[in-house]
Each structure stands twice: as C-alpha cells, then as structure tokens.
Amino acid sequence: MACAMPSTRMSAEASLAGATEVLRLAGLSVSFATVAGSVSAAEEVNLRVVRGECLGVVGESGAGKSVSFLAFLGLLPPNARVAGSAQFCGAELLGAGVRALDRLRGAAIGMVFQDPMTSLTPHLAVGEQIAEVIVRHRALPWAAARERAEALLRRVQVTDPARRMRQYPHELSGGMRQRVMIAIALACEPKLLIADEPTTSLDVTIQAQILALLAQLKREEGMAMVLITHDLGAVAGVADRVAVMRGGRVIETGTVGVILKDPREAYTRALIDSAPRLDPEPVTPRDAKPERPLALALTGVSMEFPVATRGFGRAARLSALSNVSFELHAGESLGVVGESGCGKSTLARAALQLLKPTSGRVVWMGAALGELAAGQLRALRKDLQIIFQDPLGSLDPRLIVAEIVAEPLRVHARELTPDARAGEVAAALARVGLPARLAGRYPHELSGGECQRVGIARAMILKPRLLVCDEPVSALDTPTQQQIVALLADLKRESGLTLVFVSHNLALVRRLCERVLVLYLGRMMELAPAGALYARPLHPYTRELLAAVPIPDPDLQPARLARALPGEPPSPLNPPSGCIYRTRCPHALAVCREQVPAWERAAEAHRVACHLWREL
Amino acid sequence: MSEALAAARGGRWRAAGRRLAAGTATRVAMVVLALITLLALVGPFFSPWQFDQLDWQHLALPPGRLAAHWFGTDRLGRDLFVRTLYGVRVSLLISVLATLVSLVIGVAWGAVAGFAGGRTDGWMMRFVDVLYSLPYLFIVIILTTLFQRGSIRVLLVAIGAVGWLTTARIVRGETLALKRREFIEAARALGVSPAGILVRHIVPNLLGPVAVYATLTIPQMIIFEGFLSFLGLGVQEPKASLGNLINVGAQEMQSAPWMLLTPAAFLVMLLICLNLLGDGLRDALDPHER
C-alpha cells in the first residue's frame, strides 16, 4: 500500500508529460541466454526523451547503451530476454508485434548506425535506397519518392545530389555514406532519431560535420534525438541532457552542462578526464641535449600507385605521397596527422619499407633502407616495429596470444630455448598490462583493447629502437584509447624509443609527440614542435584540424561545430593546381591557384607550406 | 605454462570437432561412413567367396535365397556381397588418394601463385587454364591407353591430375584474400621470410576451407571413377569398383535388378554421408560461428 502513492503520482506525471514525451524506458532490463547461463546486459534502465530534445547516452563499450535502445526497437537477437517497459509516444513497444514495429521503424523512428557501409545495400544506388523507404512507408509513387529522396540528400548537405542519387555505396566516402544513412532516417519525418555511434568510424573533420548536421536537424526539425556514443566531445556539441551508463545501469543523468562540468559520480569525472583535450600542455621536449644522434631521415619520399582505369586506357598514377622529408633524432617522437587519404598510413609503411617508395630515400641510422638486400632488411626489422590500426585484424586468427607474441623471437632470437622464450613472452605480456591467463586465448576471444595490447607486446618484445604506430587507437573507445596512449608513453619513456605516431586526431598526438607533421593529400602542410603547433598553428588546415577535435565543453563545443570545415578532400587522382588545399581553404587567393607554396621556415624548427601564413 | 598453451592450441580444432559432432545429420553421416568403411575392410573375410570366384551352381541368384550369397550373385555366379564391398574399398581408396594428391598439388600451387602474385601468379594460373581447357576425358583416355589399362595407379594419376586444378584456383583465391589481411603485413614487418609467412600464416589459415572442399571432393572423385569405369576406362573386370559394378548391373537391369541396386545403394549412401559431413564441417569451421 505504501507504494501506491508514488505510483499514482508517476502516472499523473506521465499523462501530463504525455503530449510531448517521445520515448520512455522504465525499469528496462535485458539479459541474454547463453551456454554459460544468463548474462545481464542492462538493468533497470529509466530514461525519457521529450520532443525537440537530444539525449546523449555515454559510456564505455559494453555499458548497455546500444542494447537498451535495440530492446526499445525490438531489434535484439532471439536469445535476449527483456523486462520492464519501453514506450514510444505513450504506446508500449515491448511485446508489440513485428508488423506494428515495422510500421514505426524507419517511419516514426529513424535510426543511424555506426557503420554506414554495412547498413547500406551494396547493389542498389543510394537514391533508390532512400526512395524505397518513402515508397514503403508513405505509399508514394516511385517518381515522387525519388524527387523527395533528392531533396533529402540536399537537406543533409550532400554535394551534387542529382549525381549521388545514381551512385552506389562503395563510390561514396564514409562521411557521404553516413549522410545518406541520415537521409534515410529522415525520409519519413520521424519523431525520434536514434543515432548509435554515428561518427565513430569517421575522421575528426567529418565527425564534426556530421555532428553539426545532427545539431542543425534537431534545431530545425524539432524532433527528439538519442545520441549513443563513447565520446563526450560528441555529446557536448549536440545533446541537451546526458545519461551516463556503466555496467548496464544508468548511473547519472542531467543537463549537459551539469554532467560535463559538475558531475556527481567519480566515474563520469574519469570519463571526462579521459576525453582528449587541446589546452596547451604538450609533451615537454625531453632533456634538451642537442646532440641526440639522427635516427630516421626521409628525403623527398614520394609514392605513386597505378590505378586501373575503365576500358583500355593507360593506367592513371595516384600520388599518395609527394616529396615528404623529415628527420627524426633518436628518442624523439613525431606525430603524423591528417584526414583519411592524406597518405599518413602510406608514409608509415614507406618509412618501414613495407611499401617501396617510388622515389626518395629512407635512411635509418646511416643505412639507406631501400638499398639493402632483402635478407639484410629482414634482419634489421628487429629494430623497426609497427603497430596497426585494426587490433584484431593484425593478429593471426589461428595462433594463440603466446604464439603471436613469441613470433618475433622465433625469427630474430632463434637461440632461445622454449623455456627462455616463454619467460620473455610472459614478461612482455606483463609489461603491457595483460594478465598471464590470456596467453592461451585466441585473438577473437579478446576485447579490442586487449588485442591492441597483444600487438604492442609483439612489437616491443625485441626492444626495437623505432616504433611506428598506424592509427593504433582509432578503433577503440575513448577510455581505452587513453590507456593505450598512456602505455605507449610509458614504453617510450622507459626504453628511449623513437616513435612515429599516425592519427587523424590532433588531440591524441598531443600527449605523446614532441613534433607534429600535418599532411594533406600526400603533401606536407606544416611541421612544428608540438608546443608551437598547438599554441600557434600557422597553416589554415592545421587550424581546421584543431577546430574539429570534439572537446567535452558544452559552452564551447556547439560554436566549434557550427564552424566545422565544409567539404571533403578532393580526389588524389585529380588534385587542384597550385596550393593543393586551396579548394577548401577559406582564405584562398588567386596566387594559391597559380603557385605551389614553398616549404618555408617560419621559425626555428617550424616549417609551413602556405602563401598566407604571415598574414593570417 | 607450456602444457596449458598446448592444450589451448588444440582447442580450436577440438571445439570445431565438438560443433561437428553436435549436428544430428553430421553425426549419423559419420557413423554410417565409419560402418561402411569397416564393412568394406573386414566384411569380405566373413564370406567364403573371393571377388573373382565363380559359383557354377548359382548363376544370377537373387539376394536372400541362399545363406552363402547374402546379396545374391551376378550372371557369372560371383558373390555380390564380396564384390560390392570390394568395389567400395577400391572406390574409397581411389577417391581418397586422388583427393589427397589433388589437395597437395593444388594447395601448394595455389598458395604459391596467390602469395607470389604478379607475373609468377599470371604464368602459374595460365598453366592451370590451359590444362582446364583440354578435354579431361581425352587426357584420361590417353593416359590409360599409354599405360596399363585399369591400373589403379594410372587411374589415381589421371584423376588427381584433373582434380588439383579446381583446388589450385580455390586456394589461390583464398590466398589473395588472406594476403591483404593486416596480420600478414604484421608478419612481414616482423621480418618473417616469405616462405615462413606462407608456411606459418597462409597455409594454416587455408586449412578450414580446404578441409571442407576435400570432403566435398571425395564424392566427386567417386562419381568420376565410376564414370570412367562405366565407360570401360576405369577398373577392369574381374576387379570390381562401384562404377563397373553399376555398369554391369545396368545391362542386367530388367532380368536381375539386384545387380544394379546393391552397388547403387552403397554409392548413394557414401555420397550422401560425405556431402552431409562436408556441410557439417563447413558449419563447424565457419568463422562467424566462433
């Protein structure tokens, strides 16, 4: 009887709010029946979203964010058990029939998922895919639906929508695909848009564009929105309220200002602290001993790939890297930053001779790597190691962790006895913070962060002198990213590694690197000590990259998003004349069209390729 | 520690084995297959007759009439029980060995071509194309007439020589896909030699699809051998294989149907079981199920 009072008050409140309340999850619990018994994925989740509001749902992977909303949409696999209540505009969705749900999904409720490539049908032109949703839910004739689809593409700021209508998903960039997904979600003017990690697989610049688009749509269409993400920076620019989830429970909700500035929970505080920041506190250049020996030198390195053209035409040459030069002293760390397709991964591979540069020289400790015999180069690989972007894909699926980590020893330290090798492996695993019990596991049994630690252990077991990291954390969620970066920083400090760290996010590079090289379409734009680069970037592109980094500050982030750099890099097959960046540069002048800017020395150790760096 | 690792090492195959045994159809197929093989190996010892021994008292005897001839006899009075089991033995032997031959050649050829890439790949695969384009029956006929007709060794070479072409193509395709995976690049970055990468990273990752392909190839080989024997190019009388038993049986279909039905029943059972096993293996090794 005691509980009658609050429950009547609740229902009164619900009916009052009923007019505007779009989504309500009440006591929602989800568990999965597995061979090992029942596994709880979400417990007692209570959330509500009203019209015109954006709720940000944040937490690490496995916190139950996606699961809760998939349960709401009735999209969980058959072994899931759902209890509680999930209402859409006052109607209960749990236990609703498939047909009732189908009428809502894609119509009144729009959805955007993380991977736009797998969410689009590969063999249908994108225009058809958008029109299909309209035909299905609105019963419009195809011609009218296609017209509306084109209008939608324009609405989500797709360039040249008439042509895009006829293109297939693989012909579009990741950012364009995500815009198409948003257009599909908007096709029937939904009351609620659920975006599940919509920007995680994208570059920072494109992330900012997509987030800005979502913020604008929310403002102009007045629909309710749920933004599920592990990135607090994404939430800061778009969400009105934030719910923090951990271990399947909502541990804290509040307005974005309260949560991000004055959180109650220590966990939220830790999440905020783990988000990348830009305030100038870069790595102090290590002991300013002037005479550190030259370790790695690239001189005029260029890389071209032949590209098949249609018909019998001559193969075109795609210039992935053009005339890149830098010198790196022993123990120094260099960040290489740019958008996808800027040649940063090619640079990482060229430096290690995993790809042979078309021209230019790579010199490591006085030896020109390109002139070595294959056997000599293999022997030298002991000192030159790399960590890859895809933590799982870079590990052989048929080997267990211990074998993967032991592989370098089998190649370069054959004299070791099996026992000594096992000892080395155990030490390497301990060094990267992996428990010994994981040694017998296969890669697919590990989390992304654990896989990446295995990759690091494999790279570090021979105590290399150069470590190249190719986007080592972009596949991981923010807290794990920070752990991996911290681990790399530790390893670097202890072993005096020379480090090349490739990333699309300037904020990640800041913690690790003393110098930063900014690439655009395979050309060097700016090379500077980290302190100078973050405090006073000279190249307009560097400024845009800095502006695109999502920061968890609800006061600044909306304005930063509104200024997001428009457009995407032009095709490297047909690069612009003069300054290659001019097509996206807000300051471009006539001279930029005509002349390639010189690689000028702006200050000691600070170089830039821009006609206008003095004026800006 | 090393014992635990060794245990985990076999874990993948053991787990696949458990999944394989979990399917009812697959389990039945494995049991039936084992029974037929066992019967083919030891069955003839329990009969007083030899495969080429004539029983003049009982010509074309239907099955079930006489305890001495369980499956009856053929027109020459030879015991069909012994002849059928003998035929199963020959057919299984030829098909399994021919599959092994084609796997060894095909995997080596395809993996090297796919991994080497470029011009080497081009020439190696053109060679396969040329062999493909020759009418294989023609090759077999030439081989069997040049050498001893009906010799099992010549049959093996003939069937294996044709079979490895498809294996090589499949393996090359898989290798091309594997080669682009990041763990292969990781191995190169570690300084593993090309041969080391091939042996340690490419071939083990090919085993799954190849094992599936092999179980589906054995039935094809049985059919092919049967076809050759049916044409009179395969195993020769008085030796028996399922193919030439069916060939002879087909001629007597109206007067003595059991001469066709007995070997045909064994052939059908073998084919169904091997195909079921292949399907089960494919499911058990499917990476999405892991």
Please tell me which residue, A248 or B162, carries the higher pLDDT value.
Answer: A248
Is residue A69, in this structure, part of any structural domain at all?
yes
Are B186 and A426 within 8 A, CB to CB?
no
Report, as an integer, the average pLDDT of A580-598. Answer: 89
| B3/A contact by beta carbon, under 8 A | no
More confident residue, B223 or A227: A227
Stretch among A216-225, A237-246, B50-59 having the lowest mean pLDDT: B50-59
Beta bridge mates, A317: A306
For the ranges A99-113, A144-158, B218-232, which has the lowest average pLDDT? B218-232
- Read off the tokens for A470: 């190719």
Q: Tell me the chain B residues in contact with residue A408 when contact means C-beta distances shorter than 8 Å.
A: 190-191
Contact assignment for A381 to B191 by CB distance below 8 Å: yes
**What DSSP state is assigned to residue B65?**
S
Residue of A nearest to B193 (CA): A378
CB of B179 within 8 Å of a chain A CB? The answer is no
Residues A103 and A225 in one domain: yes
ipTM of the complex in this document:
0.78
Residue written as tokens 């845009």?
A544
Q: To the nearest whole percent, how much of chain A has pLDDT over 70?
A: 93
Pair A103, A195 in one domain: yes
Q: Are strands A359-364 and A600-603 parallel, antiparallel or unpaired?
A: unpaired
User: Would you say the C-alpha torsion A537, A542, A547, A551 has a positive or negative sign?
Assistant: negative
pLDDT in tens, A524-544: 999 999 888 888 899 999 998
Select the more confidently predicted residue: A242 or B49: A242
Whether the CB of B190 is below 8 Å from some CB of chain A: the reply is yes
Asked if A378 lies within 8 A of B189 by C-beta distance, the reply is: no
Residue A122 has pLDDT above 50, yes or no: yes
Interface check B195 vs A, CB under 8 A: no
Question: Taking a C-beta distance cutoff of 8 angstroms, is the pair A436, A426 a contact?
Answer: yes
Q: How far is A347 from chain B (nearest CA, A)?
A: 14
Nearest by CB to residue A394, choosing from B7, B182, B191, is: B182
How do residues B125-144 score in pLDDT, each as one tens digit?
999 999 888 887 787 778 77
When CB atoms are compared, the residue of A385, A411, A440 closest to B192 is A411
Domain count across chain B: 1
Q: Is any Cβ of chain A less than 8 angstroms from the Cβ of B185? A: yes
Q: Which of A412, A530, A477, A541 is nearest to A59 (CA)?
A: A477
Interface residue B177 vs chain A (CB under 8 A)? no
A477, part of any domain: no
How many domains in chain A?
2
Q: Identify the band that residue B286 occupies on the pLDDT scale cut at 50, 70 and 90.
A: low
DSSP secondary-structure letter at A40?
A: E
- Region for A600 from its dihedrals, namely left if φ exceeds 0, alpha if ψ lies in -120 to 50, beta otherwise: beta
Q: What is the rounded distance in angstroms from the CA atom of residue B110 to the CA atom of residue B116?
A: 10
Instruction: Tell me: do A93 and A56 sit in the same domain.
Output: yes
Report the residue of chain A nearest B203, measured CA to CA. Answer: A398
Residue of B9, B183, B196 with shortest CB distance to A396: B183
As a whole number, the mean pLDDT across chain A is 86
Q: Is residue A419 assigned to a domain?
A: no
Give me the pLDDT at residue B2, please: 47
Residue B236: both structure tokens together: 């020769």
Question: Per-residue pLDDT for B51 more than 50?
Answer: yes
Alpha carbon distance A191, A22 (integer Å): 7
d(CA B284, CA B272): 18
Q: Which domain holds residue A98?
A: 18-108+191-203+214-276
Min Cα–Cα distance to chain B from A393, Å: 5
Whether the predicted pLDDT of A43 surpasses 50: yes
Which runs of E-coded beta strand occur in A89-185? 91-92, 109-112
* Cβ contact, residue pair B8, A440, below 8 Å: yes
Task: Find the range with the poorest average confidence among A305-319, A434-448, B85-99, B268-282.
Answer: A305-319
Contact flag A395-B186 (C-beta cutoff 8 Å): yes
User: Given this model, what pLDDT does residue B111 score?
Assistant: 93
Query: What strands, in cross-sheet order, belong to the sheet with A359-364?
Result: A316-329, A294-307, A359-364, A367-368
Mean pLDDT across chain B:
82
8 Å CB contact of B204 and A398? yes
**Residues A90 and A31 occupy one common structural domain:** yes
Closest to A65 in 3D by CA, of A101, A34, A25:
A25
Tell me the three state secondary structure of residue B75: coil
State the pLDDT at residue A283: 53
Tell me what pLDDT residue A281 has. 57
The pLDDT-based confidence of A18 (bands split at 50, 70, 90) is very low
In sequence order, the β-bridge partners of residue A29 are A83
- The answer to whether A235 and A211 have CB atoms below 8 angstroms apart is no
Distances, alpha carbon A148 to alpha carbons A9, A119, A133, A186, A189, in Å: 45, 21, 11, 11, 12
Query: By residue range, what is the domain housing residue B283?
Result: 2-289
Residue B11 has pLDDT above 60, yes or no: no
Tell me the chain B residues in contact with residue A467 when contact means C-beta distances shorter than 8 Å. Answer: none
The answer to whether residues A129 and A244 belong to one domain is: no
pLDDT above 80: residue B58: no
Task: Quote the pLDDT of residue A285.
Answer: 55
Residues A144, A164, single domain; the answer is yes
Higher pLDDT, B16 or A111: A111
Nearest CA in chain A to B202: A396
User: Highest mean pLDDT: which of A137-146, A302-311, B9-18?
Assistant: A137-146
pLDDT at position B152 over 80: no
Spatial separation of the C-alpha atoms in residues B207 and B198, rounded to whole Å = 13
Å between A588 CA and nearest CA of chain B: 39
Kind and range of the H or E element at B255?
A: none
Q: Say if B22 is an interface residue toward chain A (CB within 8 Å).
A: no
CA-CA distance, A440 to A403, in Å (whole number)? Answer: 9
CATH code, domain carrying B77: 1.10.3720.10
Q: Determine which of A33-42, A383-392, A430-439, B170-179 has the lowest per-residue pLDDT on average.
A: A33-42
Q: Which residues of A touch B193 (CB under 8 A)?
A: 378
Q: With bands split at pLDDT 50, 70 and 90, how would you rate the model's confidence at A13?
A: very low
* B288 Cβ under 8 Å from any chain A Cβ: no
Which residue of chain B is at minimal alpha-carbon distance from A409?
Answer: B190
Check CB contact under 8 Å for B191 and A411. Answer: yes
**What's the gap in Å between the CA of B195 and the closest CA on chain A?**
12
Residues of A in contact with B186 (CB under 8 A): 386, 388, 394-395, 455, 458
CB-CB contact of A338 with A519 (8 Å): yes
How many angstroms separate the CA atoms of B14 and B4, rounded? 15
CA distances for A452 relative to A458, A502, A511, B178, B234, angstroms = 10, 15, 18, 20, 57
Q: pLDDT band at residue B257, thresholds of 50, 70 and 90?
A: confident
Q: Which domain CATH number covers A268?
A: 3.40.50.300
Contact B186 A379 (CB under 8 A): no
Selection from A124, A183, A134 nearest residue A157 by Cα: A183
Q: Which one of A390, A411, A444 has the shortest CB-CB distance to B190?
A: A411
Q: Which residue among A384, A389, A398 places its CB closest to the CB of B12? A: A398
Query: Which positions ≥6 away from A299 have C-beta within 8 Å?
Result: A325, A360, A361, A363
For residue A543, the tally of other CB atoms under 10 A from its CB is 16
**Best B182, B184, B193, B290 residue to mutate vs chain A (most A CBs within 10 Å):** B182
| Closest in A379, A402, A439 to B191, CB measured | A379
Q: Do B8 and A400 touch (CB under 8 A)?
A: yes
Q: Are residues A269 and A198 in the same domain?
A: yes
Mean pLDDT over residues B183-204, rounded?
A: 90
- Confidence (pLDDT) at A289: 52
Task: Annotate B234-249 with DSSP letters as a single string.
Answer: SSPTTS--HHHHHHHH
**A175: exposed, middle or buried (C-beta count within 10 Å: 0-12, 13-18, 19+)?**
buried
Residue A405 lies in a domain: no
Preceding amide of A597 cis, omega within 30: no
Quote the pTM value. Answer: 0.81
Q: Is the pLDDT of residue A63 over 70?
A: yes
Q: DSSP alpha helices (H): ranges in chain B?
A: 2-9, 11-22, 24-42, 80-116, 118-133, 136-146, 152-179, 182-190, 194-197, 203-230, 242-251, 258-285
**Any domain includes A368:** no
A130 shares a domain with A266: no
Supply A484's token pair: 């991996």
Interior/surface letters B106-139, b for 16+ CB within 10 angstroms, e for the rest? bbbbbbbbbbbeeeebeebbeebeeeeeeebeee
**A381 to chain B, closest Cα gap in Å:** 5
Please name which of B82, B72, B95, B64 lies closest in space to residue B221, comparing C-alpha atoms. B95
Non-local (6+) Cβ contacts of A315 within 8 A are A306, A307, A308, A309
Same domain for A79 and A125, yes or no, is no
Report residue A10's pLDDT band, with 50, 70 and 90 as the boundaries: very low
The dihedral built from the CA positions of residue A145, A151, A155 and A157, taken in this order, carries a sign that is positive
Mean pLDDT of A441-452: 87
Residues of A in contact with B182 (CB under 8 A): 388-390, 393-394
Name which of A386, A395, A403 is nearest B183 (Cβ-Cβ). A395
Q: How far is A434 from chain B (nearest CA, A)?
A: 15
pLDDT bucket at B290, cuts 50 / 70 / 90: very low
CA angle, A345 as apex, A339 and A351 as ends, to 5°?
135
Interface membership of B9 toward A (CB under 8 Å): yes
Q: How confident is the model at residue A308 (pLDDT cuts 50, 70, 90)?
A: low
Q: Rounded to the nearest 10 degrees, what angle do helices B11-22 and B258-285 cross at?
A: 130
Amino acid of residue A101? L
Which amino acid makes up residue B118? Answer: G
pLDDT at residue B94 is higher than 70: yes
- Same domain? For A88 and A197 the reply is yes
CA distances from A150 to A131, A214, A270 (A): 9, 19, 44
Which DSSP state fits B107? H
**Tokens matching residue A602:** 């702006």
User: What is the sign of the dihedral through the CA atoms of A449, A61, A507 and A180?
Assistant: positive
DSSP B62: P
